[in-house]
Structure 1
Amino acid sequence: MRLVFLSIWLACATAAILGVDYGQQFTKAVLLAPGISFEIVLTDEGKRKDLSGMSIRPSGEDIERVFGSRMGSLCTRFPQSCAVGIKSLLGKAIHDPVVSEFLSVHPGVKLIGDDSRNGAIRFDFGLTNSSYQFSVEELFAMNMNEVKSRALSDLDEAHMAQSIVEDVAVSVSPFASPSTRQAYLDGLRLANFSNVLGLVDEGTAVALNYVSNRKFSPQEYNDKPEYHLVYDMGSGSTTATLFTVTPLTNGTIILELIDAGYDDTFGGELLTKSVYSMISSRFMAAFDLDDAEELPPKVKARLLEASEKAKIVLTVNTEYQVSIESLYNDKDFKTTITRDNFEEINGDLMERITKPILDTLKNSKVSAGDVQSVILNGGSTRVPFIQHHLSVLLGEDKLSKKVNADESCALGTTHRGLKLKTQLEKARDVKVIERSYRSHEIEIDNTKEEVIFERGSVVGQTVKKSLGPVENDKVTISLKEDDFLFKSYEVDGLLKKAERLSCRSKETKELVAYFSLDTNKMFELSGLNFKCVPKKSSGGLFNKLMKGSDDSEEEVEQAEPIVDEAEDSSNSTASNSTKSEISKTKSRPVSVSLPKPSYPHIKPLSKTTKERVANKLKYLNTRDEEKLHLTKVRNVLESSCYELRSYIDEHEETLIKELSEDKVANTRQYVADTIEWLDFESDDASLEDVQAKTTELEGKKSELSEALEIASTDLSYEGIKKLYESSKDIMMKIQHYMLEFGTEISEIRKKYEEAGFDFDKENDRIKMKNLAQGDDRMLTFDKVLTEYKEGVTNIGRLADMEADEFGKIAKRAVWEDYNNVAKGIVNMMNDVLLLENSHRDRVDTLNSKLAKLVLRKKQKEEREKKKQLEKEKKTEEDEENNDGAEFIEEDEPVISSATSSTPAGTSTSTATSETTSVSLEHDEL
């Protein structure tokens, strides 16, 4: 059992946590693992943030997926194939107003409704295979899976962490609906994350990052709360999150989230649309066009791209020159946008800048003067007129830029994920108290609505609620958020199910429900059971008159938090009482299984659909890996072609001389044909096809390389004779080395034999040890030596020929013999060096072993000698004792046989004692 706990602890200790800030425009991810401390997961291009989205285009009978920044200009060239900025569509239906807003900034994209899920949104990329119509959850899962693969690559480089990324935390908008949060959870499951640590509100993440980075002075630990605001203006929305920071005197810091205001359509994307309206109107006037809606999607996409660039530049500069080549009818378009134009066209949006702040202050009953700082987050807070309006409302000195506006949310999300995973409260740590920014209600049988969790309730709690006595066979429990119905449970067969519970005559059966608001801010019906409760007394006539006819008692209890109940029962007897109270044991509640919920609006993915989609995404990931490998092999083949072509150009004259002009020309043409095949005919080529061409090209290169080696090698008759002589000299030296090795080993053998030890036994042990370690250089050396001797013999035959006869042999045949010997010399010298090192180790081991054996033998002889001396000494002492006993028997003849005989082995002291005893007896006589 301890090993099981240890393995679990080790798995937790070495597992990684991935925190993701999934934005409307950009995605940032942070990795936390042993050896990796809150590090940004970089893109393949080394960027710290990546575009949120992908391009999906047909590729033969398959599809090609390109993620993030790698899309480049694909979205302007093929706008209908791009799925970017999909965050606003998560958990939405096709008839939602957000769809028209999305399509206005993503021209060419086609969205359809999924009838099986009450109109959930699907992307139609115009592919013939209908299975390649993807839901928003699937596209989100693809993005998360791509982030996960990059995180795994980072872990592969870290030696202290396992290459496992299963724990994930993702930031969400504070105003996210239950269906949106469910879409996040479904997408993360599809992305193969086995443990979703939590959905972290963006304001919570930034606040946690701010507090964690802030250094508090000793005087600030005074138990006094400070009010702060996170103003987060991203691409798609704007939020204002109010929180307090309370540094306690014991060193703990309390971070309490109070409330959040928001505008779910006001963000950087809306500012881009305002610039687009200016540029497009000027474009229409320049090209004398009437209807901007009739523009081709590619034109709209390029104008939107220019509008985004203009917005970014105008945050720093006062004007921007728009220049788009061949925009329409092969004509260029140019115009200038100034900052004044930008601010003027957005004049009607100014109230929306401060509205989220005013809303959260109003809901929290906090004044703007109580707020000590406003923490700016999100790229759009860099726009000058945004900061100006905030400073007018709150004061310029309160605008805080102490967090990284791009990465703070990702860092805080990861930190929050760590807290949710460990659930540990350490001293001098930041304790987070998070609240719900919406109220959560229930409705029973479509009648009276009742609030279970009020706005501002602390998340992560469960309450129980009595639904009244079991009188009807069916009950409908509806869950609402801010009076919006999102889920219902219809529980039937109650009367029959309640028969399993036995109650006393004075008790009645009630249906009790358990409602939870978890850390993801998901409101759920988590359980149902039957319970025995005392019947409510009708009261006397006086009570009825006092209560009145229309003031009847409610049958439904107020919701109460779940606490541990301890029930004590005891028997007590009164001294003057004639009754004895017998302890009553309550019947245990009987649980009721929850039915599948029904959804009046968008339905989440079913279990079957999740399994099917997960398999599809797994297939696509496998195909992408195969394509990536094929692309790498293609790139290798292409680069090899160009290298071989340059090689031929550089050595053309020598190659023609050694081979032939036709041979060189044919090789050059083969290279040209291979390059053409790669450019125009290899789209449907398999990995095996490309690898076969690569192997063939390598063979061509090897043939040319041999020709150049032949040209640069001295293969003359005199050169062969010199090679033969040097080869024989090397052979003699090697044999001399081997003789020295053998002589040294023979000397060691002699030492072993003189000392009386078995040399062969110890020598065999060393050989077996080397074999077990894969170190058998002697066998390798013997093989190389045999091959070398054969090569020398062949060279010797050539050297022994007459010059005329030698001249008739083909040059390549001479080179092959020459090359074999030349390679053999290199291999022999390497093996001799290795063999010498091995021999040294062997000699050292044998000598060391001999020294140990000699020492052990000497120690053994000394022990035996000492033992023999002790034995001789013992024998002498025994003889002396025996002589003394005989003398006593002769001097004392009066001693009886019982006292005069000494048993064998009795010590001298015993004998002395008996002698004393005998003397005393003699005196007494």
Structure 2
Amino acid sequence: MSSFTANEDYETIVGIDLGTTFSCISAYNPTEKKVEVIPLAQGRTMPSWVAFTPEGKTVGHPAKSQVASNPNNTVYDVKRFIGRPFNDEIVKEECKGFPFKVVDGGNGDPRVEVEWRGATKQLAPEEISSFVLAELKQAAEKHLGKEVKSAVITVPAHFNNQQRQATKDAGRIAGLNVRRIINEPTAAALAYGLHNADEEKAGKEKTDKSNVVIFDLGGGTFDVTCLTMNGGVFEVKATGGDTHLGGEDFDNLVVEWCKTQILEKHGKEKAALFDKSNRAMSRLRRACETAKRALSSGTTTNIEVDSLVEDVDFNVALSRAKFEELNAKLFQDCLDTVTAVLKDAGVKNSEVTDIVLVGGSTRVPILQTKLGEMFSGRIELCKSIHPDEAVAIGAAVQGHILATGGKGGGQDLGVSTDLLLLDVTPLSLGIELEGRVMSTLIKRNTAIPCKKTRTYSTVDDWQTEIDVVVYEGERPHIDGNNKLGSFVISGVQKARAGEPKVDVTFSLDANGILVVSAEDQVTGAKANAEIKAEAGRLTKEEVDKMIADSEKYKEADEELAKKLELKSLLEEAIFECNSLAKEKKDEAGVREIENMMDWLELDSDQANYEDMKKKAISLEDKWGVRII
């Protein structure tokens, strides 16, 4: 039962960590006057996975559990390419590793192609993310006992303008008013400040924190932020990272190593069969992820997959030392980012007072050891805030501050309401000049929200129009930067080149989303644009239809989730029983198990949950395995 009570006067603005691999949701409890993580169907975090079948869709653990039998229609990691064009090099590289299909949906926008309810559908990354958000929203409503309308959603600090816009769109599709987009490390800093406030209330000694490093390494993205904390006020000094580095990249290198083991131990023929099987790849990937987690507490583990391909039972030992060797370059990249961010912040190693670990991948022991060594062992790494929940908790703190309009909203939690003003933009923003040169208006690590104006002129005589082309990035030439958008200002003073004066203004809001305007000083001609990726944006009608469809199929999708979860457990049990039957040389048993596997692959789609349960019980009774 929820500990929340209905309070019509208080607007609950939930905090959502929309992660690459796992997501989490929190809310402020006005009764207890504290932020609480909202429990989900299985635990407090949920895989950011969505599966599509002829019967419907399922989200979270049930989706992930059935990936081996439905790899082409099970979608994950969309955060790695949300807000990016289809021809982006990162998108191209990602597509190579996905079992599902990513296609050009027109206008250069990526779309995920799946078979869903008997039809081929092309879905935008924003739509996939909206299904995850809708599942979190539903869990929150069930727990809170009221409708949830608004949210603060977090993004990696290095997300660009389009990626932030796309995340807002995902929230809109899920039926949420996204009140604020905030950077994940900033949200984690809020959770850390909340933790310190709780310690102070408990009577523990609390020193003023000055220079804090937030080391945020999740499943798919990595951020480092340096900020100052004084009297409960946080001010971000610098941020850096990689939107394409996380725990799944560690898994990928282990998978590649396993593929070489298959080739060496079982030959080219079996290795070729493995390469062609999405099902085998999914099962191996899951085993590698499990092995990585095991190595956080142990020094060696086994990667085991029964009947990986045909009669091959794959089994290989993986030591922590080998895991560290495989990922040595990625670990070093993480440490180099810390050095670069401290340099940008103008903070020496000796001046850092706290290092806060956020994100599940910070559990890797070698990273903790190396981080400690960077600071000569004088700082104890902060592990007191939950690495998987801190970002969602911080987002809920921000939501509470917004809900109270800054009127005491932070004080009752022990944090400052001024925090909104003290984040930074991760990338420089500017416009293209003659010669493909970028003129920067807002430099990276500038505090947001902010507004900057510079005056420009024409390059040709009697020119009356100017193209304003907006870029983000750190290269002096636009070729190395990311184009955000463009617009034209007409009615410029008709004069010789260099005489007209046109003021270009960049206004960056608290979400990190940019509005650009231009005005001729003489004629008063104006033009402006909210710089965002217009291509592929969904209309209100499309959004409304998707929300209605989601509600229409809600009960069927819930029933499907139960069935798919049991199907996955049954599948793994069948592989286990197959090995037992072979060991006992029980030919009749082998045939019986093979028949059940055929049923699972060919006929189980027509079966309901009770049919699946009967099969599981029969397997348990005969072979002594535990399924339900």
Work out whether the TM-score is over 0.5.
yes
Pair 363,595 (structure 1): closer, same or farther in 2 beyond 3 Å: closer
Task: Give, in angstroms, the shift of residue 472 of structure 1.
Answer: 3.8
Could you give the per-residue CA deviations for residues 445-469 of structure 1, whole angstroms, max 9, x where no partner exists? Answer: 7776432222232211334444569
| Cα distance in 1 between the residues matched to 2:323 and 2:135 | 36
Counterpart position of 1:39: 36
Q: Which of the numbers 143, 162, 165 marks the counterpart of 1:154?
A: 143
Q: Which of the numbers 21, 25, 38 marks the counterpart of 2:21?
A: 25
| Cα distance in 2 between the residues matched to 1:183 and 1:235 | 20
- Give the alignment of 1:394-433 within 5 angstroms: 394-398=375-379, 399-424=381-406, 426=408, 429-430=415-416, 431-432=418-419, 433=422
Counterpart position of 1:364: 345
| Cα distance in 2 between the residues matched to 1:72 and 1:437 | 33
Task: Give, in angstroms, the shift of residue 515 of structure 1.
Answer: 2.3
Question: Is the aligned partner of 1:454 residue 2:450?
Answer: no
Counterpart position of 1:266: 245
| Cα distance in 2 between the residues matched to 1:365 and 1:340 | 35
Q: Which secondary structure state, in structure 2, belongs to the residue aligned with residue 437 of structure 1? A: coil
| Cα distance in 1 between the residues matched to 2:451 and 2:328 | 47
Could you give the per-residue CA deviations for residues 813-845 of structure 1, whole angstroms, max 9, x where no partner exists? Answer: xxxxxxxxxxxxxxxxxxxxxxxxxxxxxxxxx
Counterpart position of 1:188: 171
Supply the AA of the counterpart residue of 1:232: D
Task: Give, in angstroms, the shift of residue 83 of structure 1.
Answer: 0.6
Task: Give, in angstroms, the shift of residue 238 of structure 1.
Answer: 2.2
Counterpart position of 2:193: 211
| Cα distance in 1 between the residues matched to 2:103 and 2:318 | 36
Task: Give, in angstroms, the shift of residue 100 of structure 1.
Answer: 4.7
Could you give the per-residue CA deviations for residues 565-610 of structure 1, whole angstroms, max 9, x where no partner exists? Answer: xxxxxxxxxxxxxxxxxxxxxxxx967464797x8xx64443xx32
Supply the AA of the counterpart residue of 2:213: L
Counterpart position of 2:306: 325
Check conservation: 1:233, 1:380, Cα contact below 8 A.
yes
Pair 130,478 (structure 1): closer, same or farther in 2 beyond 3 Å: farther
Counterpart position of 1:573: none
| Cα distance in 1 between the residues matched to 2:543 and 2:117 | 21
Pair 444,210 (structure 1): closer, same or farther in 2 beyond 3 Å: same
| Cα distance in 1 between the residues matched to 2:30 and 2:319 | 50
Question: Is the aligned partner of 1:133 residue 2:131?
Answer: no
Task: Give, in angstroms, the shift of residue 94 of structure 1.
Answer: 2.4
- Give the alignment of 1:198-277 within 5 angstroms: 198-215=180-197, 226-247=210-231, 253-277=232-256
Check conservation: 1:15, 1:164, Cα contact below 8 A.
no
Task: Give, in angstroms, the shift of residue 275 of structure 1.
Answer: 1.9
Pair 439,121 (structure 1): closer, same or farther in 2 beyond 3 Å: same
| Cα distance in 1 between the residues matched to 2:520 and 2:404 | 35
Q: CA RMSD in A?
A: 3.5
Pair 319,487 (structure 1): closer, same or farther in 2 beyond 3 Å: same
Counterpart position of 1:787: none
Counterpart position of 2:484: 486
Pair 595,412 (structure 1): closer, same or farther in 2 beyond 3 Å: closer
Task: Give, in angstroms, the shift of residue 392 of structure 1.
Answer: 1.4
Counterpart position of 1:610: 539
Could you give the per-residue CA deviations for residues 510-531 of structure 1, whole angstroms, max 9, x where no partner exists? Answer: 6544420111112221x45555
Pair 16,294 (structure 1): closer, same or farther in 2 beyond 3 Å: same
Task: Give, in angstroms, the shift of residue 85 of structure 1.
Answer: 1.8
Check conservation: 1:440, 1:523, Cα contact below 8 A.
no
| Cα distance in 1 between the residues matched to 2:311 and 2:165 | 47
Question: Is the aligned partner of 1:308 residue 2:300?
Answer: no
Q: Which of the numbers 157, 169, 189 marks the counterpart of 2:152?
A: 169
Task: Give, in angstroms, the shift of residue 490 of structure 1.
Answer: 1.3
Q: Which of the numbers 494, 515, 530 marks the counterpart of 1:524?
A: 515
Q: Which secondary structure state, in structure 2, belongs to the residue aligned with residue 176 of structure 1? A: coil
Q: Which secondary structure state, in structure 1, belongs to the residue aligned with residue 510 of structure 2? A: coil
Could you give the per-residue CA deviations for residues 543-581 of structure 1, whole angstroms, max 9, x where no partner exists? Answer: xxxxxxxxxxxxxxxxxxxxxxxxxxxxxxxxxxxxxxx
Greater strand fraction, Structure 1 or Structure 2: 2
| Cα distance in 2 between the residues matched to 1:242 and 1:121 | 34
Counterpart position of 1:434: 423
Check conservation: 2:209, 2:354, Cα contact below 8 A.
no
| Cα distance in 1 between the residues matched to 2:57 and 2:302 | 33
Supply the AA of the counterpart residue of 1:21: D
Supply the AA of the counterpart residue of 1:213: H
Counterpart position of 2:333: 352
Range that drifts further, 463-472 or 620-629: 463-472
Pair 34,471 (structure 1): closer, same or farther in 2 beyond 3 Å: farther
Q: Which of the numbers 225, 247, 266 marks the counterpart of 1:287?
A: 266
Q: Which secondary structure state, in structure 2, belongs to the residue aligned with residue 266 of structure 1? A: coil
Could you give the per-residue CA deviations for residues 353-382 of structure 1, whole angstroms, max 9, x where no partner exists? Answer: 311101101222221111112111111111
| Cα distance in 2 between the residues matched to 1:132 and 1:631 | 19
Counterpart position of 2:179: 197
| Unaligned residue ranges in structure 2 (runs of 5+) | 1-5, 564-602, 609-628
Q: Which secondary structure state, in structure 1, belongs to the residue aligned with residue 386 of structure 2? A: coil
Task: Give, in angstroms, the shift of residue 239 of structure 1.
Answer: 1.8
Question: Is the aligned partner of 1:92 residue 2:92?
Answer: no
| Cα distance in 2 between the residues matched to 1:152 and 1:113 | 36
TM-score using structure 2 length: 0.77
Q: Which secondary structure state, in structure 2, belongs to the residue aligned with residue 402 of structure 1? A: coil
Pair 53,323 (structure 1): closer, same or farther in 2 beyond 3 Å: same
Q: Which secondary structure state, in structure 1, belongs to the residue aligned with residue 53 of structure 2? A: strand
| Cα distance in 2 between the residues matched to 1:285 and 1:219 | 57
| Cα distance in 2 between the residues matched to 1:219 and 1:72 | 42
Task: Give, in angstroms, the shift of residue 335 of structure 1.
Answer: 2.3
Q: Which secondary structure state, in structure 1, belongs to the residue aligned with residue 267 of structure 2? A: coil
Supply the AA of the counterpart residue of 2:223: T
Among all aligned residue pairs of Structure 1 and Structure 2, give the percentage whose two residues are the same amino acid. 21
Supply the AA of the counterpart residue of 1:177: N
Pair 460,391 (structure 1): closer, same or farther in 2 beyond 3 Å: same
| Cα distance in 1 between the residues matched to 2:38 and 2:368 | 30
Supply the AA of the counterpart residue of 2:16: V
| Structure ID, larger Rg | 1
Check conservation: 1:79, 1:297, Cα contact below 8 A.
yes
Pair 221,77 (structure 1): closer, same or farther in 2 beyond 3 Å: closer
| Cα distance in 2 between the residues matched to 1:207 and 1:604 | 35
| Cα distance in 2 between the residues matched to 1:681 and 1:219 | 58
Supply the AA of the counterpart residue of 2:26: V
Range that drifts further, 180-189 or 315-324: 315-324
Counterpart position of 1:73: 65
Q: Which secondary structure state, in structure 2, belongs to the residue aligned with residue 133 of structure 1? A: strand
Greater helix fraction, Structure 1 or Structure 2: 1
| Cα distance in 2 between the residues matched to 1:437 and 1:152 | 34
TM-score using structure 1 length: 0.54
Task: Give, in angstroms, the shift of residue 390 of structure 1.
Answer: 1.0
Check conservation: 1:111, 1:123, Cα contact below 8 A.
yes
Instruction: Kindly tell me the number of residue pairs found equivalent between the two proteins.
Output: 538
Pair 286,429 (structure 1): closer, same or farther in 2 beyond 3 Å: closer
| Cα distance in 1 between the residues matched to 2:492 and 2:124 | 38
Supply the AA of the counterpart residue of 2:89: P
Pair 322,454 (structure 1): closer, same or farther in 2 beyond 3 Å: closer
| Cα distance in 1 between the residues matched to 2:94 and 2:542 | 25
Question: Is the aligned partner of 1:142 residue 2:131?
Answer: yes
| Cα distance in 2 between the residues matched to 1:130 and 1:72 | 22
Counterpart position of 1:338: 319
- Give the alignment of 1:578-597 within 5 angstroms: 592=526, 594=528
Q: Which secondary structure state, in structure 2, belongs to the residue aligned with residue 362 of structure 1? A: helix
| Cα distance in 2 between the residues matched to 1:66 and 1:681 | 16
